[in-house]
Amino acid sequence: MISWKIVDSASSLDEAINESLHRDIIIFKHSTTCSISQMAKMRLEDTWDLHEIPAYYLDLKEYRSLSNAISEKLGVHHESPQLLLVRNKECIYDASHFDISVEEIKETISWHA
């Protein structure tokens, strides 16, 4: 299971991005009304075994402006659902829909080590 940290303000987003200076983090952007997003979240949670990586969760319906801020700060195109792996304030992995994969995250981490 993933122990989500909620992104619900500009300061919590800044906290997440600043944490990436010290260790990798993920940000999962989730649409609570989309069945594909719900399925992607469930698949991610079922296979998650990277407990050392802080996992941030953004409810897109509630905080669309924060999703836009993520796109601007990290230079990524908005998708929903979307998972971003962030290191040193840079997105090093970006996946959406059913391309979100714990195995791909692991490969990216080892490739960027």
Q: In this predicted structure, what is the pLDDT of residue 69? A: 96
Going residue by residue through the chain, which has 113 residues, state the pLDDT in tens, using 9 for 90 and above: 899 999 999 999 999 999 999 999 999 999 999 999 999 999 999 999 999 999 999 999 999 999 999 999 999 999 999 999 999 999 999 999 999 999 999 999 988 77
Look at strands 82-87 and 90-96 and give their pairing.
antiparallel
**What is the pTM assigned to this prediction?**
0.95
For 78, residues 6+ apart whose C-beta sits below 8 A from its C-beta are 29, 67, 68, 70, 71
Is the domain defined by 4-111 classed in CATH 3.30.420.40?
no
H helix or E strand, kind and range, residue 88: none
**Contact 58/66 with Cβ under 8 angstroms?**
yes
